[in-house]
Chain A
Amino acid sequence: MSGSSLDQHFGIDSSLLPISRVLDEIPLGVAVLDHSRNIVFINRALVSLTGFDCSESYGIPCSYILRCNHCFHGCPVKQLSRENRSVTSESNIINRSRTKIPVRVTSSLLVDEDENSFGFIETFEDIRVLESECAKVDRVLKLDDMIGRSPQIQRIFQMLPVIAQTDSSVLITGQTGTGKDMLAEAIHKASVRAKGPFVKVNCGALPETLLESELFGHQKGAFTGAYENRLGRFRLAHNGTLLLTEIGDLPLALQVKLLSFLDDKVVYPLGSSKGVHVDVRIIAATNRNLEEMAQEGRFRRDLLFRLNVIRLELPPLSDRKEDISTLLDHFFRMMSLRFKSRAKSFSPEARDILLTFRYPGNVRELRNIVEYSVNVCEGDTIEVGHLPAYLIESADTEEIDVEFDDETGDDSEPVAVFKLDYPNWRAAEKKMIFEAMIKAKGSRTRAAAILGWGRSTLWRKMKRLGIE
């Protein structure tokens, strides 16, 4: 279609400058549509983006030429009205060269001087460059399956490639649910042992006798029930990495055996006097304080020194609040895809609760909360009601600041000003009584007065709470 026919179509007098020539000079793809969403004109940039030229696309419904993802899922042009004249969305198109291109589409209503609409105009911005920039940022924020933008996590991500290239033992510490196992796997995958096996053993999951056989293997007939030879996890992990989780729960007798292995890299299966050389990198993980255990004699100090060659401490989620938002979005995307959920976002209130919660169970807890919410939500938005109940109760409790004033006593200062972070009223009441008793220097009569209770009430409550 020529420029002049476009002008004639819309009754524009453009004898000086045909409108199509103006549109052709715009570096964004532009499509002009009539009322029925048939193509009237596409500019040069859109011709090069879609592969359809202007004359062959003329009069064809736009979805057949633009082949946009949103033609199938909520056409933005259909949402346009006099009140809502412009809509921007991100989508993708498949062009004639069979390439899928991510685009940002802005659809607008065309209206004349009398405010009567006579068609639509859509612009298409190729955002491939933007997406590849985002991917670069993502790579920085993501390591294997781990995600984080906090300085603590970034430091670990930066150290990890170097750590992976060495063959030294690694000790990963951190609270439960912080991602110790994932970090160990990331180290394995980034190391030269990546093609070898990654074997994981939970040292706290099995009784001592079984654990020894599980780790080091046994010979046929070594004990009752040993009907055949068993290789053991050390030998299964040959040329790979062995992750010993809950290393703090490893019995002392096995700690000696592990120590011996770390020294000479030879395992002795149960019932065999012949050692087997095994090439394995050891990564140990625990949520316990091994130094403290070593002081108490529950963990061998020499084993701790051998494992503690490289120490990685994963901070609890409450210490890296800036990661909560990133993790929340990541888990939400993951769970929505997995469960094919209709949910598209969190309501601001639900998001606030999730961003301020303390997460004693760390990342695992956050993940479980998102999984629960995505499953429970049947609409488009996850509301507060879709969150686990304990989260809402906790949020209510944390928000209340309670001040207990001593109105009856001589001192004008308050007895106690504290944040209500007790699990229940019983604990809070106990604390109040202690505070008052301290202030009253042990006098029950005066403590009762401070609390504003009768003496018998205080006595009854103290008895019920077991305060002597």
Chain B
Amino acid sequence: MIKILVPLLGDDVAPRFDLAPEAYIALVDNNHNIVEERTIVLSEASAETLCRMILDERITMVICGGIEDEYYQYLMWKKVAVVDSVIGSSSKAIALASRGALESGAILMERSSPK
């Protein structure tokens, strides 16, 4: 079982960890199924608030966009796996992460051809 937290902006992984207005938490079983999920609206966007929530919720993996090294190192030190610089929808990111196929810097978004 892995418990994943994704800072959200709409349905996508928020581009910035410290500025995400919402967080999505999913509990994924060994068969890659989401057995529990919820979205939390944060009272204020802050990296500290998210870190506290990550530890309180006993999150094992964080999927995020840009994150400052200070918070990245802190979470790693707390034994939370961090996959950062992910661009794309949270559902795609979680699906890949549950199969162990998500890497830092993954771009899961379809590129729109510029108009």
Contacts and interface: CB of A to CB of B under 8 A. Distances in A.
Contact of B115 (A36, A65, A69): A36
A81 to B, nearest CB: 19
B67 A98 contact: yes
B112 A38 contact: yes
Contact of B68 (A58, A61, A72, A100): A100
Nearest to A94: B66
Nearest to A100: B68
A60 B69 CA distance: 24
Nearest to B20: A72
A408 B112 CA distance: 89
A356 B8 CA distance: 48
A97 B65 CA distance: 12
B112 to A, nearest CB: 5
Nearest to B13: A64
A34 B114 contact: yes
Contacts of B112: 36, 38, 59
A72 B19 contact: yes
B115 A34 contact: yes
A99 interface: yes
Interface in B9-24: 9, 12, 15-19, 21
A63 interface: yes
Interface stretch (B29-37, B53-61, B93-101, B103-111): B103-111
A67 interface: yes
Interface string A13-37: 0000000000000000000001110
A183 B45 CA distance: 36
B105 A96 contact: yes
A396 interface: no
B114 A40 contact: yes
Given A38-B114, A40-B114, A96-B66, 14 more contacts: A9-B114, A59-B112, A59-B113, A63-B15, A64-B12, A64-B87, A64-B109, A65-B87, A71-B15, A71-B19, A72-B9, A72-B16, A94-B17, A94-B66
